[in-house]
Amino acid sequence: LHYTKGYRKTQTIPACVMSGVDPEQIASLDSAEDVALKELGETPEVRQKALNELRQLISDEPSLRCPTDDAYLLKFLRVRKYDTQAAFKSVKKYFKFRTDHPEMFKDLAPSKIPFDAVCRTHRLITVSRHRDPMGRMAVMLKTGAWSNEICTLNDFFRVAFVLCDHFLLREDSVLNGVVVVLDVKGIGLYHLVHYTPSVIGTLISYVQDCVPIRLKAVYVINNPQIFDLIFGIAKTFLKAKLVNRFRFFGYEPNGLHELVPDDVIPEEHGGTNERYNFNSIVRVVN
């Protein structure tokens, strides 16, 4: 993974691309420094002390090969709110996960995976070009639309991991977090064969314990009764904090427009997802 540092959020989201979002709310989005201070208690002194401590912990673990530049380590410290020991555990879990699942991370580039099939042709994953009212990155996943005819489940996850790496390039995404619109329309018995407890547990472990991303909310739409079974499995792996961040809208997602940009809402619910242009994302992740 490669990261950039020093990004300061200055983008203003045009009101015309968001439904029901107060322009004053958009204009008041805090800078990266403000968010870091308010939510994490980050100051230059706290940051430097934690960086030194985490760097030493990594140095004391010879078997752990990990980048130790400030920008890289800050992501783990921030996601664990400057609990150095917790950040160190996340670093170890992250690299252990990659070691234990090499098939998921080999040749992670759009040209090596079915990126076009997943994102362009079937629109299984969409990353909004805009932020939600709280400055958070918004993503849409159509897990109910996936099938082996599109790609293997492993390749579906690999595309998601490429986009996850893209999120980590942005300091504002790390600080403000990510929200997910989970569209499970079409999910059925076919998917239960593939979305096994082992698969669900593995993915949750990666998102919850390894990758330095703050998952702030999951909005589930078009959820049939069978999804209750899948979510019941997921809850056995999810921490209570994350369980409480799920919100279920069913087939009438009233209020969703006030929470996320229109380009991660299906047209059937008044959004613009089906008209989304993926060229900008492809340029970035390439």
> Phi and psi of 26, rounded to 5°?
-65, -45
Domain 27-100 sits in CATH at 1.10.8
> Phi and psi of 277, rounded to 5°?
-105, 120
Instruction: Give the separation between CA 52 and CA 177, rounded to whole angstroms.
Output: 25
Kindly state the average pLDDT of the residues 87-96: 95
Instruction: Give the separation between CA 66 and CA 63, rounded to whole angstroms.
Output: 9
Instruction: Give the separation between CA 101 and CA 113, rounded to whole angstroms.
Output: 16
Is 74 a residue whose pLDDT tops 70?
yes
What confidence tens digit (pLDDT) does each residue in 34-59 have? 777 777 788 889 999 999 999 999 99
What confidence tens digit (pLDDT) does each residue in 209-258 have? 999 998 999 999 999 999 999 999 999 999 999 999 999 999 988 889 99
Is 7 a residue whose pLDDT tops 50?
no
Instruction: Give the separation between CA 217 and CA 181, rounded to whole angstroms.
Output: 8
What confidence tens digit (pLDDT) does each residue in 256-282 have? 999 998 988 888 888 887 776 666 666
Confidence of residue 286 (pLDDT cuts 50, 70, 90): low
Confidence of residue 27 (pLDDT cuts 50, 70, 90): very low
What confidence tens digit (pLDDT) does each residue in 121-160 have? 998 998 888 889 888 999 999 999 999 999 999 999 999 9
- 37 or 98: which leads in pLDDT: 98
Give the per-residue pLDDT at 37: 79
**Is CATH 3.40.525.10 what the domain over 102-285 is classified as, yes or no?**
yes
Give the per-residue pLDDT at 285: 64
For the chain, which residues make up each domain, given as ranges? Answer: 27-100, 102-285
Kindly state the average pLDDT of the residues 72-83: 92
Single pTM value for the model = 0.83
Decide if 260 contacts 181 (C-beta within 8 A): yes
- 216 or 18: which leads in pLDDT: 216
Determine whether 226 is exposed, middle or buried from the number of CB atoms within 10 Å of its CB (0-12, 13-18, 19+). middle
Give the per-residue pLDDT at 191: 95
Kindly state the average pLDDT of the residues 184-202: 95
Give the per-residue pLDDT at 173: 81
Classify 215 as helix, strand or coil.
strand
Give the per-residue pLDDT at 206: 94
CATH topology identical between 27-100 and 102-285: no
Residues 6+ apart with CB under 8 A from 74: 5, 47, 51, 174
For the chain, give the mean pLDDT.
85
For the chain, the farthest-separated pair of C-alpha atoms sits apart, in whole angstroms, at 54
